[in-house]
A = this chain, B = another copy of it.
């Protein structure tokens, strides 16, 4: 069975040394009392819960999956899942970064993201149950009425209830404008909602006493397409005015999907038959309200893949140190053994280092975005809020797509380190790959992310957000112009920054001639910009590591080495990606549809 040791040292490095996050967040009144010791203590406790309670349930959750009772429509989660959730709620993890007015502990989102990294490493399928609640919470907090907030937020905060996002229907996922679920207004101000939803993660389960579904549906007078969609709160059990549970609502699980991975999470077909719901936000304005959930979810998906990359790395390292097989090409390294541990082989090291670099890069980026998110939501200075909001908007598709693509590569590599054993369930490595695979698909496929990045976030504002981020990088490079030792990092970073500028311009020009050129270049473009962002993270880490490296604490030496590996072996992907992006649309459209 795989093991998991929370990478507390690297998490603390990113939070305290790379981002100086506590000092930065303390400038926000809501976090004025934050201190590093508290953050560290939370991470340590979160790590214990993840590694001791959740990790042991991961393999069994995959093997058992969820079971639907077709008579009662109730779903039984795998052995141990319910108990673990009880502990999670009792220990207050659900409330960690929620607003104190709803019973939350008011910690920054950064801390919540760091805890979620560990939960995801330990058990992605389990973590989706509480994870989905955050989206429902955020949507209600941003767009709910006072009554909805009072009714739902305290219970979602405590974790007594969980939440879902009910978007997809059998005939539409990406294109929500096509959705058909209907909401009919009632005399009492509620709505009766009827339709069928699919792919509803945590849509039904036995871990909480109620589930608050946030459902997209159409009002009778709705215009066609995406501008005629409204958002509704539809609880599994109707909620009385005093907050107590009332009758069973007309929403139930009609079937569970048999999936490639995340077997421990119930992916439900939800049937709505005159389910009673209340409107969240304005009529026909459901999509913008839903995007509050969706953007959070996209960052969350990136974090799932960070978690999987880290845990796959740890286990593959243990295996590579333990498994002896063949001698090093350069001669025996452990003549005392029958063969050398496979970690002596350069390609085994390359696979391990790929996973490690992708984990470290993802951690730096996700935590950085979390701090920006805290600033975007809570900073007193509007200009800061706006700038941070722009940064989050620009980086969200990169967190989602770049990190999840990397994690698929990384978990596949870590599985490969195990040879044939990597293909066998009991070792746990193949599960990481299967679980990682969904992250490239849900909450907007990675192709959709790339269109969001290039079409909307970059070209949509004439490159303003990208230019602003580019200036941040340029400032870092300039500020370190005299740092000789850092040039091995700042030089390629600066070069790539300039290339990205020209590259963006070129694609933008072609896109003005034919918008499909944007679609042809977008996936490659996201890989390039993703690497630019990672290179910036690694260059900053390397700067600190160069300053602090010492023989007595090898942490910084390792940090530096991983950064060097990244620049030498992973960053060069941009060369091919720029060539194939520039090859443009023509090679993709020359073949008539009939000839496919």
Instruction: Kindly list chain B residues whose C-beta atoms are within 8 Å of the C-beta of A480.
Output: none
A328 touches B516 (CB 8 A): yes
* Contact partners of A415 in chain B: CB under 8 A: 437
In the bound assembly, the distance between CA atoms of A177 and B259 in angstroms comes to 40
The residues in A between 440 and 469 inclusive whose CB is less than 8 angstroms from any CB of B are 440-442, 445-447, 450-451, 455
Chain A 171-215 against B: per-residue CB contact (8 Å), 1 yes, 0 no? 011110110000000000000000000110000000000000000
A326, B175: Cβ atoms closer than 8 Å: yes
Q: Does A240 make an interface contact (CB < 8 A)?
A: no
* B557 A595 Cβ-Cβ under 8 A: yes
Is A433 located at the chain interface by the 8 A CB criterion? yes
Q: Known contacts being A434-B434, A445-B419, A447-B416, is A590 close to B575, with CB within 8 Å?
A: no
A569 within 8 A of B: yes
A584–chain B nearest beta-carbon distance, Å = 8
How distant is the Cα of A568 from the Cα of B441 in the complex, in angstroms?
26
Question: Distance (Å) between the CB of A309 and the closest chain B CB?
Answer: 15
The reply to whether A430 and B260 contact each other, CB–CB distance below 8 Å, is: yes
* CB of A479 within 8 Å of the partner chain: no
Are A174 and B416 in contact (CB-based, < 8 A)? no
Is A257 interfacial (CB 8 A cutoff)?
yes
The distance from the CB of A47 to the nearest CB of chain B, in whole angstroms, is 20
Neighbouring B residues of A562 by C-beta, 8 Å? 591
> How long is the Cα–Cα vector from A394 to B350 in the complex, in angstroms?
25
Whether A523 touches B408, Cβ cut-off 8 Å, given contacts A321-B596, A516-B329, is no
> A338: CB under 8 A from chain B?
yes
Q: Which of B261, B321, B325 contacts A173 (CB 8 A)?
A: B325
30 contacts between A and B (CB under 8 A): A173-B420, A177-B339, A178-B325, A258-B424, A259-B423, A260-B430, A261-B423, A328-B516, A329-B518, A329-B519, A330-B516, A343-B593, A346-B588, A347-B447, A347-B450, A349-B589, A352-B596, A415-B437, A416-B447, A419-B441, A420-B441, A423-B438, A423-B442, A558-B595, A561-B591, A562-B591, A564-B587, A572-B576, A574-B576, A576-B576
